Chain A
Amino acid sequence: MTYALEILDLKKTYSGGTVALKGISLSVQEGDFYALLGPNGAGKSSTIGIIGSLVTKSSGQVKIFGEDIDLNAAEAKSMLGVVSQEINFSQFEKVIDIVTTQAGFYGIRKSDAVPKVEDILKKLSLWDKRNDQARTLSGGYKRRLMIAKALVHDPKLLILDEPTAGVDIELRRDMWTFLKEINKNGTTIILTTHYLEEAEQLCRNIGIIDKGVIVANTNMKDLLGTLNVQGFIFDLHKPLDAAPNIDGFPLRLEDPLTLVAAVNKDRSINSLFEELSKLDIKIKSMRNESNRLEELFIEMVNSNEK
């Protein structure tokens, strides 16, 4: 089976002696939407840098759709698009020139690049700003431009290193929709993010890296299934002074009208409703607490530290 990305025993020690990667191995299937998570300094950006030829590896092997990045660099690179964490385009060029030039670097003739560039800029709502200098764009539009650059040569594998960092929620949701669509159309996507809700919403598989080692590499559903406790948020009809004391259900008040419950996997939530009714606490609405992945993430990173 050919994987979209295959990493074998990848090691990286920087010239100052910092060990960023201690021999990680992972594989990402074709068509996957994969989350690579880890705390700051865990080795995510080093891994992405090595895949994108921006960082020199100390040892190990990286293959993109079966093509080794050392032995068949041109073939491997032509299938890869990378959206780096930091802005990496000339601030003094026009948006349309930046994307068209990037297409040229991939060997796409200008006559072929022009309609492609128009299409991608329109999809990312950048078409109206095509003649603006890049430096005049807002942070959100700069992020979009980074994505446009990475996609202009139709890569089969797209890697995004914290693409929604510092982006407002509306734009973030737009990006999610866009990424879901290109993934549906066949592009394999690897995403690193600090917004764990983002990973939970978008990704099917997940790898967690910490201190240069992979501490988890599994299916998102399976991983979330290992959670013993699930959080629920209740919006109340009447305000409470203090959280009620119900045996087996730890409760806390977020504010007088918001009650948060931790429900153990082997307990039924119906029992909680019954207990609340007995106390004459009426619930207006209910939603899941969206930090399930966050809990697991912290748990795994902490256990790696021990």
Chain B
Amino acid sequence: MKNNYKVSISLWTLTVKEIRRFLRIWVQTLVPPAVTMSLYFVIFGSLIGPRIGSMDGFDYIQYMIPGLIMLSVITNSYNNVVSSFYGVKFQKSIEELLISPMPNWSILLGFVLGGVCRGVLIGCIVFGVSLIFYPDFTVVNPFLTIIVLFLTSILFSLMGFINAVYADSFDDISIIPTFVLTPLIYLGGVFYSINILPDIWRSISMFNPMLYVVNTFREGMLGVSDVSILFSLGMICAFIVILTGACLYFLRKGTGIRQ
């Protein structure tokens, strides 16, 4: 019991440290998504959007909002954990955690909670920005929206953790977000419904995992989706379980952190 209490304090300490880290550098972490998304809403929503017309029966700017929120949540959750965990490896302050009595699951959870907090906070900021451009937006299914928001943050925080475990240089922590994550998100239905694609591209898109995340979130916010929601939720949860197992295995083996 006493040990559990100590573990909860150490977990709280690490989580607060992680939150304090991204809040301290808010100009680099919180402001850029708000600025970038404002530009998306201005250019694709207000200027080009009316010419595109409706998408799945919604104004184009309205259709884009869930996708852009997910885009921001995914990249920020991922980047938070990958840069923070690689940072502690690089500065050797990972030793502070390894020497301490904190169990591995608690170390992992602390970093993931940091990523989730940033992802969710960014999601709220982008949603706030979107309301400036589309004040009449109403969320159809708040419960599903919040669930997907948190599950997505957890999933991509775990992916960021694995990237950081294997990273040996700052290049290694930017390769996957730039060349894998971002293209998959952009092609995962952020700006369009896959129903407008030719059959072959629609079939190929079904192999893009981002499509399921974006569309499940869109189902929560707008009530429309290109994919099965239960299947998507099941896959997200399954990947969270698999990646958690992998992260704990890497921590136990000391991959990338112990000699």
Contacts and interface: CB of A to CB of B under 8 A. Distances in A.
Nearest to B87: A90
A56 B96 contact: no
Given A77-B101, A80-B99, A149-B96, A105 B258 contact: no
Contacts of B6: 106-107
Contacts of B10: 104-107
A88 B101 contact: no
Contact of A78 (B9, B101, B103, B253): B101
A253 interface: no
Interface SS majority for chain A: loop
A105 B97 contact: yes
A9 interface: no
B141 interface: no
A88 B258 contact: no
A59 interface: no
Nearest to B106: A105
Interface stretch (B12-20, B63-71, B73-81, B237-245): B12-20
Given A73-B101, A104-B13, A49 B96 contact: no
A56 B258 contact: yes
A74 B93 contact: no
A102 B101 CA distance: 11
Nearest to A79: B101
A74 B9 contact: no
A107 B9 contact: yes
A49 B10 CA distance: 22
Interface in B91-123: 91-103
B169 interface: no
A107 B258 contact: no
B93 A89 contact: yes
Given A56-B259, A74-B3, A106 B95 contact: no
* Residue among B7, B88, B103, B259 having the largest count of chain A Cβ atoms under 10 Å: B259
Contacts of B99: 52-54, 77, 80, 82
B179 interface: no
Contacts of A86: 92
B254 interface: yes
B5 interface: yes
For A56, A74, A87, A107, the residue with the greatest tally of chain B CB atoms inside 10 Å of its CB is A107
Given A54-B99, A74-B103, 6 more contacts: A54-B98, A73-B101, A77-B99, A102-B96, A107-B10, A108-B9
17 contacts: A54-B98, A54-B259, A74-B103, A77-B101, A84-B92, A88-B92, A88-B96, A89-B93, A90-B87, A101-B17, A102-B100, A104-B9, A105-B102, A106-B6, A106-B100, A107-B3, A107-B5
Q: Which 5 A-B pairs have the closest CB atoms?
A: A107-B6, A104-B13, A105-B100, A88-B92, A74-B101
Interface of B: 3, 5-7, 9-10, 12-14, 17, 87-88, 91-103, 253-254, 258-259
